[in-house]
Homo-oligomer: A and B are copies of this chain.
């Protein structure tokens, strides 16, 4: 049988007890999604077939329900430790494969660097570890692993729990299984390394082995860093993300909620804001503008956490945001009798908000102050003030328009000077 897709083997048969939550470790929720599911989604997005070595039937039950294409092999003797779990995979794996732990969280960049095709056995190592005492250490010399183990004193890297393996690894596993009862994974790779057949590859991306509640919290912080975008403006970073992440945390458990559906809802919220402005409910409209701004973050957050990012999704999001924005300004303008100034203000706001985004897509230079979060924040403030006096409507459009045009031209200028 020729393996057409790359294969990942996930060891999920551990008896881990330190979390103390009663849930078996791979299923412990990290941002409301089982730890192991984060890796599984990342691997599926990269085209991997997946084989899970499990012991607790709940693991199989949960994963089979959500990912029907995953294969499973039961380890009936988890007390023989994770080296034995790898041995169990032997008869179900042809060719090379990626090996990883079910209770580790790896970032997108980690998978990006590790998920390639290799010809040799590789230990993915890191200079960093959250719990050096409990960690497996690795001594690397000239790209070769010379020793690996929890208690070695002379080491320069940490084991990340991810390996690339050839069939050779099973020979070493087999030998150890015949010799002793409990086999640690590190012992198998120590045996491979002793023959000079284990290379090391340093990965410069975050990862964490989740053994305690505290590490679970650290993992969540790392995950959040991944989700928040670099180009987020100050309103987004300081206000919106805090709330949208909590919304996303709840939405993430529903398989039918896709990023594109969230984009549609977010657009609808924008049009509701527009209607509220048009009918003169300025106070409500202002509040709704801020809620639109907050909810606008959810589609991207869910897409990144669930590894469902797509070019189509990003295009739909961009264009529908623009339509929602200009609908809001039109609603503002048409809520009052037309004047030359108001017509000009509408012109400025509409063209500014699109040209800002247009310039950003063309130049990839971001002037954060003119982003959608700031424009909708100004719209909120304008709506609240307009409930006191309607002249704030024109003022809001003027300020949104000026701000976004200035920021667009500034982006263009920065692009020009760095070209």
* Residue A75 interfacial (CB < 8 Å): no
* Residue A343 interfacial (CB < 8 Å): yes
**Closest chain B residue to A311 by CB distance?**
B419
* Residue A344 interfacial (CB < 8 Å): yes
Contact call A339/B340, Cβ cutoff below 8 A: no
Contact call A326/B351, Cβ cutoff below 8 A: yes
Contact call A322/B358, Cβ cutoff below 8 A: yes
Chain A 387-416 per-residue mask, 1 if CB under 8 angstroms from chain B, else 0 = 000000000000000000000100010011
Question: Min CB distance, A366 to chain B, in Å?
Answer: 14
| Residues of chain A in range 301-353 having any CB-CB distance to chain B below 8 Å | 310-312, 315-316, 318-319, 322-323, 326, 330, 333-334, 338-340, 342-344, 346-347, 350-351
Interface size class of A (residues with CB under 8 A): 35 or more
Question: Min CB distance, A258 to chain B, in Å?
Answer: 14
List, in ascending order, chain B residues with CB within 8 A of A363's CB: 315
* Residue A357 interfacial (CB < 8 Å): yes
* Residue A294 interfacial (CB < 8 Å): no
**Closest chain B residue to A358 by CB distance?**
B358
Contact call B346/A347, Cβ cutoff below 8 A: yes
The 8 Å CB contact of A319, one of B344, B346, B358, is B358
Extra contacts, 16 of them, besides A319-B412, A338-B338 (Cβ < 8 A), are: A312-B419, A315-B363, A316-B412, A318-B362, A319-B408, A322-B351, A322-B358, A323-B355, A330-B344, A330-B347, A334-B340, A338-B339, A343-B343, A347-B347, A354-B358, A357-B358
A residues with a Cβ closer than 8 A to B are 310-312, 315-316, 318-319, 322-323, 326, 330, 333-334, 338-340, 342-344, 346-347, 350-351, 354-355, 357-359, 361-363, 408, 412, 415-416, 419
